Structure 1
Amino acid sequence: MFSEPDDPAVVYRMRAAHAVACAALGAAPSPRVPEAWGWQGRTLGRPATGPYGPGWLRVVQSPVEKASGKLWTGPEDAERLVPRHVPRPRLHLVREWAEGDDVYRAELYDYVADGAVSATPVLTEAPRLTATWWSGLRTAIGGLSAVRTERTAVRQAYLDRAMPKYLAFLGRPVPTAPPAWSTAHGDLHWANLAGPKLSILDWEGWGMAPSGYDAALLHAYSLAVPETAERVRRELSDILASEAGRFAELVVIAELLQSAERGDNRELVPALRQRAGEVFRPGRCEAGPTPR
């Protein structure tokens, strides 16, 4: 989650859009629960009671010319294509409308009673999670990886451009072709995982990525809490200890170093650089085929 936008006009516009969404979907927002804001006020979510009982009503804003593509249709595509045994809130209703140069999208989900494991993507303290939770996560990652889709979460062109640049400190050429590709959530961090009952939130950006991407991303966002990073490595060892998993870690590290350059999660930079050196050793992370 992000903070309420500094621009009062954005706050007013999104709250007004949320009220329109409630009316359109026959839902009433909960008056006593804090709002959940997305990046730069692009989304606003709140619990709401609607035709399916307790729910979560999320509103997304986009300029008209950008109201399409994978981020716009991700939740609906997930509802259609991702098996129900991958735990997530069901998406019941969707409405879209335009106001001037903006398009809004309202999505009514099941309400997830258990909150996110962390308020932020980067973990700040060790969570208390059961063996059942971890087992469920392994099963979910495996089930999702087998889903057939034409959606793309990470593009080969990005790897070719970003990995040599942001991993240059390793001192030798880094391969950019993954050993394998599979379907990933694409944003599997601690603020998108609920517990103690596992549920995976925010399905905007899912699609094809280097195999092991989700496990690698969760591990990277755990590095500030070594105890949990070690737990991730242990629980997801079948993924992270593989050639594909090590390559996926390098992909994620390059991405997060790039975002740190823009000011995001700079506290992770030393640990990310150290982990890259641990992962990228002679004979590891050989190049593989590009996706068809």
Structure 2
Amino acid sequence: MFSEPDDPAVVDRMRAAHTVACAALGAAPCPPASGGTREAWGWQGRTLGKPTTGPYGPGWLRVVNSPVEKVSSKLWTGPEDAERLVPRHVPRPRLHLVREWAEGDDVYRAELYDFVAGGALSATPALTEAPRLTAAWWSGLRTAIGGLSTVRTERTAVRQAYLDRAMPKYLAFLGRPVPTVPPAWSTAHGDLHWANLAGPQLSILDWEGWGMAPAGYDAALLHAYSLAVPEAAERVRREFSDILASEAGRFAELVVITELLQSAERGDSQELVPALRQRAREVSGLGR
């Protein structure tokens, strides 16, 4: 999740679109006493989600916005594809209804999900404090990631062309060439960070970008977003030791470090940069 956009025009436009979406899907915003003032914003106000009540009971209505010329089929259809193709034993809120409409040069997409009690474990992708999670929660996450990795799909979360271009650039500080071809590929959630994980009952949120990625990608991404909290990072390493200690896992860590260093150039999670660079040296065998 991200903070409310600075541009009041974006805020007003997205709130108005959410009102339109409620009417289109037969949902109503929850009253303030029931948490109805809660808002979850996406990057630069691209998405807005709020709790609702409607035809399926308590729900979460999310609105996505894109300029017509920038509609991405990968992100636009991800939640519907996940609802159709990912087995139900991978815990996530069920997607019930979808509506799309256009207003001028903008396209909107409304998605009505089951409400997830407890909510996301973090307000931001990167942790600021260690969450208190049960052994059953961690076991469920391992099982979910393992089950998802075997799902057959033509969707792509990470492209080889990106690895060939970005890894040499953002890992140049290592002082030696890095491989850019993963040992293996598997299906990943593609955005497995702490703002997309719910508890105390496990649920995995935001299925926009799922698809094929270097094997071990989800565990590597979760670990990278844990680096600011050593206790949490150590727990991720312990829970996913079989993945992260493998050749594929080490490569996946370099992939996500590349992505997050690039993202930091845009101002995202800049506090992680020193730890990301240090972790890249460790994974590459260049010392601690």
Common fold: TM-score over 0.5: yes
Is 1:241 matched with 2:237?
no
Is 1:120 matched with 2:115?
no
Q: Deviations over 1:162-190 (max 9, x none)?
A: 11111111111100000000000000000
Cα distance between partner residues in 2 of 1:261 and 1:145 = 30
Cα distance between partner residues in 2 of 1:46 and 1:31 = 11
For the residue of structure 2 that corresponds to 1:6, the secondary structure is: coil
Cα distance between partner residues in 1 of 2:272 and 2:7 = 28
Cα distance between partner residues in 1 of 2:32 and 2:71 = 31
Cα distance between partner residues in 1 of 2:136 and 2:199 = 11
Pairing partner for 1:38 from 42, 60, 63: 42
Is 1:49 matched with 2:53?
yes
Return the offset for 1:256. 0.8
Return the offset for 1:68. 4.1
Cα distance between partner residues in 2 of 1:27 and 1:116 = 22
Report the CA distance shift for 1:68/1:253 in structure 2 as closer, same or farther (over 3 A): closer
Q: Deviations over 1:12-71 (max 9, x none)?
A: 1111111111111110011327x1111111111100001000000001111112234110
Cα distance between partner residues in 2 of 1:119 and 1:137 = 19
Cα distance between partner residues in 2 of 1:75 and 1:93 = 11
Q: Deviations over 1:245-268 (max 9, x none)?
A: 000000011111111122211111
Q: What does residue range 263-274 of structure 1 map to in structure 2 within 5 Å?
A: 263-274=267-278
Cα distance between partner residues in 2 of 1:18 and 1:262 = 28
In structure 2, the residue matched to 1:60 is 64
Is 1:203 matched with 2:203?
no
Cα distance between partner residues in 1 of 2:141 and 2:12 = 38
For the residue of structure 1 that corresponds to 2:31, the secondary structure is: coil
Cα distance between partner residues in 2 of 1:46 and 1:176 = 40
Return the offset for 1:117. 0.9
Cα distance between partner residues in 2 of 1:59 and 1:261 = 27
Report the CA distance shift for 1:68/1:167 in structure 2 as closer, same or farther (over 3 A): closer
Q: Deviations over 1:184-239 (max 9, x none)?
A: 00000000000110000000000000000000000000000111101000001111
Q: TM-score with structure 1 length normalisation?
A: 0.94
Instruction: List gaps (5 residues or longer) in structure 1.
Output: 280-291
Cα distance between partner residues in 1 of 2:74 and 2:235 = 32
Cα distance between partner residues in 1 of 2:272 and 2:59 = 35
Q: TM-score with structure 2 length normalisation?
A: 0.95
Report the CA distance shift for 1:165/1:237 in structure 2 as closer, same or farther (over 3 A): same
In structure 2, the residue matched to 1:143 is 147
Identity %: 91
In structure 2, the residue matched to 1:192 is 196
Cα distance between partner residues in 2 of 1:10 and 1:266 = 25
Aligned residues: 279
For the residue of structure 1 that corresponds to 2:32, the secondary structure is: coil
Instruction: List gaps (5 residues or longer) in structure 2.
Output: 34-38
Cα distance between partner residues in 2 of 1:224 and 1:199 = 23
